[in-house]
Structure 1
Amino acid sequence: MSVNFAESAITSEKELREIVGVPHQNVVHKTISIIDDHCKNFISKSPLFFLATAGAHGHCDVSPRGDSPGSVFVLNDKQLVIPDRPGNKRLDSIMNILENPQVGLLFVIPGLDDVLRINGQATIIKDETILDQMSLKGKPPLLGIGVDVEEAFIHCPRALKQSNIWDYESWEDKATLPTLMEIFQAHLKINGVKING
């Protein structure tokens, strides 16, 4: 079944606010424009964050980034650097940043339902002095993503609480799930790629 979303689309902020309402002033004013000590502490304890980017034509990408806690290097109260470790060479985030520097970051600490959100302007850097400080097992990242921070704020725990993400008893049994390779090969087949063996 195909749905025409335009038939019930909301097309103005006025209409949206009539349905949802307006945020409390404290929610509006919780956003800061610096990386304060609380943000630095949160980032230093986060082994996982999500990087959101969009290309020049609006095509979006969200990439999970996992590393040891503190791998994101806070330069000062307005700038941080993300190490770009070697991967599959798709470079989805990097290519988007070349076209559109606006990025969003969402930092997660295992067991904690609150998340830290940071938005800003990104630049792909190759400054060896900075990259050497983010070495992993003696190897610096090939590139870094420098972010000039524009907004930082703590986000309420509702989504993570509702999802029971940290409650291992609610987790799906891995034996019932397809493996990465099964999904990967199925998607290759959809795209007409023949798989040997």
Structure 2
Amino acid sequence: MARAFAKIAFTDNVKQLQSEMGSRETYQVFEQGDTDDVCIDKRTEQFIKQRDSFYIATSNDDGWPYIQHRGGPKGFLKVLSDKQIGFADFRGNRQYLTVGNIQGNNKVCLFLMDYAQTRRLKIWGHAEVIQEAEYAGLMAQLELADFRAPVERGIVITIDAMDWNCPKYITPRYTQDEFVQFLVDD
């Protein structure tokens, strides 16, 4: 898993800066992992299933980056296999920036945050926009029975790399349910 992450993230410019700043030796170990194979293990699957939001980064045809927050009930980001995740794309502000960017460049990066436990997972992959007419079975897996937001399409991401990132500087934040539970437990 670490080698796949390093191959994507550690470009020549990044490696040069790591050398200049004294961290190259530490991160060079990531590149020497035994496999590029990336699989969602049980720990990662549980983490993904507990998220009620994430951030997705894309870039447009001119190379400009864009990041968007996506939210829904816990579990709206689905684990489809050990190498794929997906979600129903609910109607939003109708700018279609993320979907439009994916159609031009399907490389994406997701940040999944657990603010309360100060954990984050970064995921790099290739996204595909799917429509109900062509992918009815897959869309059925992505839809949420008890969530009434209009679904316009699905987005399926084939994972190329993942990295559990350090918790440093993650400010703990709590959902209303977590806060209430904290009060009850106290």
Alpha-carbon distance in 2 for matches of 1:158, 1:89:
35
Equivalence for 2:161: 151
Alpha-carbon distance in 1 for matches of 2:98, 2:122:
17
Equivalence for 1:18: 20
Structure 1 counterpart of 2:130, one-letter code: I
Deviation at 1:13, TM superposition (A): 5.2
Q: Tell which has more relative contact order, 1 or 2 (C-alpha 8 A, sep 6+).
A: 2
Alpha-carbon distance in 1 for matches of 2:149, 2:60:
30
Equivalence for 1:113: 118
Matched, 1:65 2:70: yes
Cα contact 1:131–1:140 (8 A) shared by 2: no
More strand by share: 2
Alpha-carbon distance in 2 for matches of 1:112, 1:96:
32
Question: Structure 1 140/14 Cα, relative in aligned 2: closer, same or farther at 3 Å?
Answer: closer
Alpha-carbon distance in 1 for matches of 2:43, 2:129:
26
Equivalence for 1:132: 140
Q: Tell me, what secondary structure is at the counterpart of 1:142? A: strand
Deviation at 1:151, TM superposition (A): 0.6
Equivalence for 1:182: none
Q: TM-score, normalised by structure 2?
A: 0.73
- Greater gyration radius: 1
Question: Structure 1 14/91 Cα, relative in aligned 2: closer, same or farther at 3 Å?
Answer: closer
* 5+ long unaligned stretches in structure 2: 1-11, 176-186
Structure 1 counterpart of 2:137, one-letter code: T
Equivalent residue pairs, number: 155
Deviation at 1:109, TM superposition (A): 2.2
Cα contact 1:47–1:109 (8 A) shared by 2: no
Q: TM-score, normalised by structure 1?
A: 0.69
